[in-house]
């Protein structure tokens, strides 16, 4: 994940496991991950921003919109009103 601040972000989607889920759950933005893992990971600082990625059969394109709840995520090319 890039370290640049994106003020319009309401959350992130992680194609992997997260650690410290109780702390993350208390943050002011949403995090959706495949699971949790108590082991600390190594960090290499590698990553890219503003690139298209695909996982779980879904293509995530910069500039598109993602909405999520506890049941899953939806990606849309246009804003979706709740």
Say whether 50 counts as a known binding-site residue.
Answer: no
33-44 burial, b if ≥16 CB within 10 A, otherwise e?
beeeeeeeeeee
Is residue 12 scored above 80 in pLDDT?
Answer: yes
Task: Name which residue leads in pLDDT, 11 or 19.
Answer: 19
Per DSSP bridges, beta strands 11-18 and 30-36 are parallel
pLDDT tens for each residue of 17-64: 999 999 998 988 889 899 999 998 888 888 888 899 998 888 999 989
Say whether 19 counts as a known binding-site residue.
Answer: yes
Angle at 74 between CA 69 and CA 71, to 5 degrees: 30
Q: What is the dihedral of CA 38, 69, 31, 13, to 10 degrees?
A: 100
Structure tokens at 5: 């601040």
């Amino acid at each position: 994940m890039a370290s640049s601040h994106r003020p319009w972000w309401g959350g992130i989607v992680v194609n992997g496991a997260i650690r410290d889920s109780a702390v993350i759950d208390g943050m002011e933005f949403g995090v959706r991950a495949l699971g949790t893992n108590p082991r600390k990971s190594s960090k290499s600082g590698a990553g890219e921003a503003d690139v298209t990625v695909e996982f779980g059969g879904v293509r995530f394109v910069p500039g598109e919109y993602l909405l999520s709840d506890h049941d899953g995520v939806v990606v849309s090319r246009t804003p979706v009103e709740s």
